[in-house]
Structure 1
Amino acid sequence: MVWVLGLTGGIGSGKTAASDYFAKLGICVVDADVVAREVVEPGEPAWLAIRDRFGADAFLADQSLNRAWLRQKVFAEPGERIWLEQQTHPRIRERIIEQLSKATSAYAVLVSPLLFESGQSALTQHTLLIDVPEPVQIERASQRDQNNEEQIRRIIAAQMSRADKQAKANDVADNSGTLAHLHQQLDQLHQRYLTLAAS
């Protein structure tokens, strides 16, 4: 099995900028968010379970998930969020393991916003947190997703605290500066990860 780096960070922290950079370096990247979308595609078992529980409201005209509706529903009712996670998390985990096992690069990166919360960190040998202060998170996420500030604050509140993530992560990269500064840190970390993976 390939050596796996778990990459995480809160909303708007720059996980994608970091994982794109690792991909450019030839490293296999498995993105838990992408896998999470795959397991709820029309006809998939999790999609069928969601349809049975929530009915037509949970879907758009093309039968894909109405994510905005579902997000509001599960953040307003914690019991529904737990139910949804029970439908999706085991299926996501299974597919992540399958994709990581096919990696042919020197090491692989598992990108997950909920790396620690979901227990996906157990699939990794080492973890890296892409870290920015909360005001930066809110500013970047609202520019990117057209989400309102209140919704972004709710998402941040539902995730593990920044301090807890910092304490759990093996490495922390500061992404409050320029992209070049982030890449510089990632270059150094990449050299270390090559060594760790080889040993």
Structure 2
Amino acid sequence: MVGLTGSIASGKSLVAGHLIELGVPLVDADILAREIVEPGEPAWEDIRERFGEEVLNADQTLNRGALGALIFADEDARRALETITHPRIAQRLMQYAQQYRMDGERWMVYDAALLVENNAHRWLNALIVVAVDPQVQLERLMQRDGLSTEAAQQRIDSQMPVQEKIKVADYVIDNNGTRDQTRAQVDEIFKQLMQRFNK
């Protein structure tokens, strides 16, 4: 299993999209996180029990805004949510991995923002980090999300610096250039991974 990560506005989605175009099985952590909290799922039941009906919408789906407001204001609440969701996400990931193996795939990519922060990169076979220069990152984030310089910088500063992620990376994609330049780097890494895992 190969991890794919980066910092906010680094261009991880561009890289993930191109890997999918190349035929690589890819699992997105954000999608797993949504799947495990669908109504009736064990994590949904635990969230309702821990946080109450006020974090649910009228149709019983999770009200992400209400839950987010709770956990960002309360460290204990955030940890409680992680205790509920993280093991379920890992379990769902393993289910996907097993299915891909049964389908004859030799390797897959796990796309997640916090791989290094959570030390999840330690159990991966390889790690790809998408990197951009701080000024490029700031400008892209401001443009993408319509943020002020201060607000964008605050979001960047809340994350682990990309240089720390690069230290543990097996492959680094420099996304300071054009989309075609980034895709060319992905193509090269794809060739290397195919050679590595398809022996």
1:85 aligns with 2:85: no
Query: Separation in 2 of the partners of 1:28 and 1:171?
Result: 18
1:42-191 to structure 2, matched below 5 A, reads: 42-103=39-100, 104-141=104-141, 143-144=143-144, 153=153, 155-191=155-191
1:11 aligns with 2:8: yes
Q: 1:45 to 1:145 in 2, by over 3 A?
A: farther
Q: 2:21 aligns with which of 17, 24, 42?
A: 24
Query: Separation in 2 of the partners of 1:68 and 1:177?
Result: 35
How far does the alpha carbon of each residue in 1:44-86 deviate from its partner, in whole angstroms, 9 at most, with x for none? 1111121122223322333222223322322222221111111
Query: Separation in 2 of the partners of 1:62 and 1:132?
Result: 41
**Identity fraction in percent:** 37
Write the letter of the residue equivalent to 2:62. Answer: L
Query: Separation in 2 of the partners of 1:185 and 1:48?
Result: 43
SS of alignment partner, residue 70 of structure 1: helix
Equivalenced residues, count: 196
Write the letter of the residue equivalent to 1:96. Answer: L
Q: 1:143 to 1:66 in 2, by over 3 A?
A: farther
Q: 1:62 to 1:141 in 2, by over 3 A?
A: farther
SS of alignment partner, residue 130 of structure 1: strand
Query: Separation in 1 of the partners of 2:137 and 2:71?
Result: 22
Query: Separation in 1 of the partners of 2:47 and 2:146?
Result: 26
Query: Separation in 2 of the partners of 1:101 and 1:138?
Result: 39
On the 8 A contact 1:51/1:58 being kept in 2, the answer is yes
* Stretches of structure 2 lacking an aligned partner (at least 5 in a row): none
Write the letter of the residue equivalent to 1:132. Answer: V
Write the letter of the residue equivalent to 1:98. Answer: Q
CA RMSD of aligned residues (A): 2.3
Range with bigger deviation, 16-25 or 101-110:
101-110
Deviation of 1:167 after TM superposition, in Å, equals 0.7
Deviation of 1:7 after TM superposition, in Å, equals 0.5
On the 8 A contact 1:128/1:169 being kept in 2, the answer is yes
In the alignment, which residue of structure 2 is the partner of 1:33?
30
In the alignment, which residue of structure 2 is the partner of 1:192?
192
Query: Separation in 2 of the partners of 1:142 and 1:70?
Result: 26
